A and B are shown apart, each in its own frame.
Chain A
Amino acid sequence: MSARLPDEIRPVMENGVPVILATCSADAVPNVTLVSEVYYVDAEHVALSFQFFSKTVKNVRENPHATIILNEPGAGRRWVLRVDYDHSETEGPIFDAMDMQIEAIASVTGMSGIFKLRAADIYRVLGVETISNP
């Protein structure tokens, strides 16, 4: 069953604050990493960039479950997304948009040329909740 992303999450996805991504291997070893951005595809899907043959990429192809935290430090709020890896796209409008944004982020952070988009990994959103500062 899918969940719908609320409209108010879209600016958080574009705020430039690193995103936390957790996955788990087939043999139950958790992995947690920081990624530069998560991309809004539609109200039920997000995309993450596949740039290197990372543990994350390997894990979600073995076990599709993943958890994402989007950070909103100014508001004292975090968004927790339960997602499942669905498929990858290596061309098309989503891929092209992500490719442009990755280069823009890389140039701002002094990492231009290090990153190359191999695929846009599309995830289905299964749950959305928030954690706010007390």
Chain B
Amino acid sequence: MGVTKTSEPAARAIPGVILQFLDRASVALGCTADRDRLPTIHWVSGWQADADQKSLWCFVPREFEAGLRQAIAAKGRFSMTVEHIGPHECYQFKGRILEARPATEADAAVVARCRERFAAAVRQVPQFAGHEAALRRYILDAVVAVRVAVHEIFLQTPGPGAGSLLARLENPS
């Protein structure tokens, strides 16, 4: 399912179609940058919209914490690209870190659902058929939960429209 680009992208919250997309997406990657503008990738093992519908919770494994602590302390910028593997539907969320805490059992349940969607999507690729256990293991358990205020949402689905601004939140969290 695609999202129609509007001429007026200002939004009060993350649009409903994007929230629905987040519930079917199968992989997410976060990114921060240090003071030298060196970007670091943080694999996001699970994701969930906050109740305010203006921010996202990103669950990051220990193996991808490098650079994240500094970004959390500085309440720095955080970008996250989320894709629905298969149809290639993809969006990038850009914003700022609001808060972080150790991941909980409830977060682990979110990660488990995202892990199943990842494995289900990638096993459709012929070379990974029958490798479901390895695919599940590839999504690492999260140790930290990071809440990110979403400022902008960009279309990232491959093609000439990739990079288009879909929504800018009027009053982000």
Given A29-B77, A31-B79, A73-B131, are A133 and B94 neighbors across the interface (CB < 8 Å)?
Answer: no
Q: Produce 1/0 per residue, A65-101, CB < 8 A to B.
A: 1110101011010101010000000000000000000
Chain B nearest CB, measured from A4 CB (Å): 20
Q: What's the A-B contact tally at a CB cutoff of 8 Å?
A: 107
The reply to whether B80 and A32 form a contact with Cβ atoms under 8 Å apart is yes
Instruction: Give the complex CA separation of A73 and B158 in angstroms.
Output: 22
Closest chain B residue to A69, Cβ basis = B41
> Is B29 in contact with A32, judged by CB distance below 8 angstroms?
yes
How many chain B residues touch A (CB < 8 A): the figure is 41
> Are A16 and B33 also in contact (CB < 8 A) when A31-B92, A32-B92 are?
no
Say yes or no: A133 contacts B137, CB within 8 Å.
Answer: yes
In the complex, whether A24 has a CB less than 8 A from a CB of chain B is: yes
Q: Which residues of A contact B135 (CB under 8 A)?
A: 73
> Which residues of B have CB within 8 Å of A71?
138
A contact residues around B92 at 8 Å (CB): 31-33
Report the Cα distance A42→B64, complex, angstroms: 28
**CA A11 to CA B21, docked complex, whole Å:** 33
Least CB distance from A53 to B in Å reads: 8
B107 at the interface (CB under 8 A from A): no
Query: Given A65-B39, A114-B158, A133-B138, are A31 and B31 also a contact pair (CB < 8 Å)?
Result: yes
List residues of chain B with CB under 8 Å of any chain A CB.
Answer: 29-33, 36-41, 43, 63-64, 77-81, 83, 88, 90, 92, 94, 122, 125, 127-128, 131, 134-135, 137-138, 140, 154, 156, 158-160, 162-163
